Amino acid sequence: MSPAWRNRLIGLLLAAVVTAVDKWVKLQVLGPWQVRERGSIELLPYFNLTFTRNFGVSLGMFEATSMEMRWMLVAVTGLIALVVFVWLLRERRAWDIMPLALVLGGAIGNIHDRYRYGFVVDYADFHIGSFRPFLVFNVADAAITVGVVIILARALFIREKPEGEQQADRSAEIT
Catalytic residue list: 122, 141
Residue partners of 80: CB distance under 8 A and separation at least 6 = 107
**CA-CA distance, 15 to 158, in Å (whole number)?**
24
C-alpha distance from residue 33 to each of 28, 40, 49, 51, 144 (Å): 6, 10, 9, 11, 25
Burial, 153: exposed, middle or buried (Cβ in 10 Å; 0-12, 13-18, 19+)?
exposed
**CA-CA distance, 78 to 94, in Å (whole number)?**
24
CB contact at 8 A, 151 and 99: yes
